[in-house]
Chains A and B, each alone.
Chain A
């Protein structure tokens, strides 16, 4: 039997791919196309639509508020991507053979189970200007002018990045951990016999082997950040004065609060295009000449 022949059966490929593909086409592509279409309309979401061509898109390109929010989204993407290093480090330690790793791993993933509402409430209590945990701590350390974390336009955005990035810690640790556990033990044992240190094993053997997973998490972190919405909406609502507005919250504000569904859709569609471009760039940048195999 030829492996290539068996694995090229078109009928079987169709059976494996089509159900999911059809589902995606119906429930994701139709909305994407409709979003693009609504973006060409002047529409409050209620009455009649008027076709206005690319007017929404041209005003979007000239909208400083949109670009402000896009800048914030990109910052978030950058920080999320950087934070992956930390998660990777924790995962490598946990996946190593240290006492209690199993317990630590479980504990580390707990916050991930919380709904956004809970996370938002927790961090609102941490950041509260007068009786928040953080400012109480600062006061006890003798700081007099404690920051107004979420009310100060200069720091609100960064203050809110922390819970967002923390919220996803469990997600990435879980993925890295599973990837590291997937590495055949024999490879590591062999390296140990050759006298490699734990650090060398991590960098020279483990990292290259899970490179594919790392690349994918970079895409997930960046794309996820670019369309991020939840905590921003609950904790600052994009404020004060738009200082923590991101693309998805701007889209929501325009479409659902400002009743400008045409413009909101244009933002949504544009966001999609930005994500596509960024993903393309990331895959180009991280593409390696040869795939790692053992």
Chain B
């Protein structure tokens, strides 16, 4: 396994051994780039739009073209969002809930996936099935039963109810994502480790986890985005201001008869920044991870 060179993905094509110098190939690549760039513009457009949106008042949001820059940009939307309510507290809560749930979910899911794909036991298919069922229930069916459960456990208005719900509801999808990768990871390394007398825990923590770094990063990113933007559970299980999250900031601007769209845009802009940053950092791990992992293995 010579995987060290995966890092070179940004290197020019010409280095590869296939001949690419023919005119036809160049044209094909040119076309490919045009398509890729057009797609990229489509994908970057929402952020630009959201930024412009956040600088408008209600009149402008509805009247102006979505891509026009307002004549008099309403920076005060940001000021309002930042000063209204307890945004730094919400922010902190969002980070705490998201991070703890992501770590817990990815770790628990890795353990389960490891046990299902790597260890020998008869019930593994059944247990996998049990987890998969968790994908299939609509959130609104669970609200009343979950509220009852938490209320019996005395966990209403307690951040644990949020972290546990996020973990439980993301475990199935995380296990599914990990599963496809564990199934394709070569078993030879582990077998060799067993021969050398390594324990199961050592294999899990020292071999499987590092080798699955790219997929853990992938699953982590997905979990993070879900948790960060979630609000139904927070609204239902939390009632104290001090435990609410950034998504509450959005509701703050939805009124009984009118909604302050510009301020909502500003809240969305503010709340997307940290997650964008985390995403950029974590998405590098997808490429780096495998190289690093296989060296240790």
Contact = CB atoms under 8 A, between A and B. Distances in A.
Interface of A: 1, 3-4, 6-10, 12-13, 15-17, 19-21, 23-24, 26-32, 34-35, 38, 45, 90, 93, 95, 97-102, 104-119, 121-122, 125-126, 131, 133, 136, 169, 171, 174-175, 177-179, 181-182, 184-186, 192-193, 197-198, 209-210, 212-217, 219-220, 223-224, 226-227, 229, 247-248, 251-252, 255-256, 261, 264-265, 268-269, 271-272, 275-276, 279, 291-294
Interface stretch (B75-83, B84-92, B221-229): B221-229
A114 B46 contact: yes
Contact of B13 (A97, A115, A131, A182): A97
B118 A112 contact: no
A98 B32 contact: yes
B176 interface: yes
B264 A113 contact: no
B21 interface: no
B214 A178 contact: yes
Contacts of B63: 131
Judged by DSSP, the binding face of B is: helix
A133 B276 CA distance: 26
Nearest to A101: B9
B280 A106 contact: yes
A227 B138 contact: yes
Contacts of A227: 136-138
B164 A27 contact: yes
B139 interface: yes
B186 interface: yes
B16 A97 contact: yes
27 contacts: A6-B199, A12-B201, A19-B111, A27-B164, A28-B142, A28-B172, A29-B130, A97-B8, A99-B12, A102-B10, A107-B43, A111-B43, A111-B46, A113-B225, A121-B261, A131-B65, A171-B222, A181-B9, A185-B6, A193-B17, A210-B180, A212-B183, A212-B184, A229-B139, A229-B140, A268-B141, A276-B136
A216 B268 contact: no
Given A122-B50, A216-B177, A108 B43 contact: yes
Interface of B: 1-3, 5-6, 8-13, 15-18, 29, 32, 36, 39-40, 43-44, 46-47, 49-50, 53, 63, 65-67, 108-109, 111-112, 114-116, 118-121, 127, 130-142, 144-146, 148-149, 164-165, 167-169, 171-173, 175-177, 179-181, 183-186, 191, 194-195, 197, 199-201, 204, 214-215, 217-218, 221-222, 225, 229, 247, 250, 261, 264-265, 268, 271-272, 275-276, 279-280, 283, 286-287, 290
A220 B176 contact: yes
B136 A24 contact: no
A158 B47 CA distance: 24
Contacts of B142: 28, 31-32, 35
A237 B247 CA distance: 21
Nearest to B217: A178
Contacts of B2: 184-186
Nearest to A123: B46
Contacts of B171: 20, 23-24
A10 B183 contact: no
Given A3-B191, A181-B290, A216-B179, A107 B40 contact: yes
A21 B176 CA distance: 14
Contacts of A136: 65
Contacts of A102: 9-10, 287
Nearest to A294: B186
A177 B289 CA distance: 13
Contacts of B112: 16-17, 20-21
A24 B46 contact: no
Contact of B132 (A35, A90, A279, A293): A279
B44 A181 contact: no
B54 to A, nearest CB: 10
B46 A119 contact: yes
B143 to A, nearest CB: 8
A217 B194 CA distance: 32
Given A20-B171, A99-B12, A7 B119 contact: yes
Nearest to A214: B180
Given A3-B191, A106-B280, A268-B140, A178 B67 contact: no
A77 to B, nearest CB: 12
B264 A117 contact: yes
Given A35-B142, A248-B138, A178 B111 contact: no
Nearest to B142: A31
B276 A113 contact: yes
Given A106-B283, A179-B181, 12 more contacts: A9-B200, A17-B116, A34-B148, A97-B11, A107-B40, A113-B276, A115-B247, A131-B65, A181-B214, A227-B137, A247-B138, A292-B184
A121 B3 contact: no
B108 A23 contact: yes
B115 A223 contact: no
Contacts of A119: 46
B135 A223 contact: yes
Contacts of B137: 28, 31-32, 35, 227, 268, 271-272
